[in-house]
Structure 1
């Protein structure tokens, strides 16, 4: 198990855990969001191939509409 931060909350996940698995575990939408790991935006087509490591800081941002 490794410890990561997701939107400033601590989570423990298995090693070799990727962003897509994290979103599914959190029951997060996959459309209309942006994901950053350690302040670097990760493109949606890289979510499955981006493996999280100990002490990673993940930020999930929900797009909003406004005017």
Structure 2
């Protein structure tokens, strides 16, 4: 198990979890969002390869409509 911070909340997850798996586990949509790890935006094309590390700070931002 490793500990990450997801949107400023500590979360324990299994080792070898990638961004796509985290999004599924935490019920985030796969579209209309941006993901940053340690203040660096991760391209959606890299979500499958990007493994999370102990202590990572993950920020998930969901696009909204309105005006």
Instruction: Report the TM range for the smaller structure's normalisation.
Output: over 0.9
Q: Which residue of 1 aligns with 2:11?
A: 11
Which runs of no fewer than 5 residues in structure 2 stay unpaired? none
Q: Which residue of 2 aligns with 1:29?
A: 29
Say what the alpha-carbon RMSD is for the aligned residues: 0.7
Q: Which runs of 4+ in 1 moved over 2 A?
A: none
- How many Å separate the matches in 2 of 1:10 and 1:65? 29
Residues 11-64 of structure 1: per-residue CA shift (max 9 Å, x gap): 111111110000000011011000000000001110010000000000000011
1:66, CA displacement in angstroms?
Answer: 3.2
1:65, CA displacement in angstroms?
Answer: 2.1
TM-score of the superposed pair, with normalisation by structure 1 = 0.95
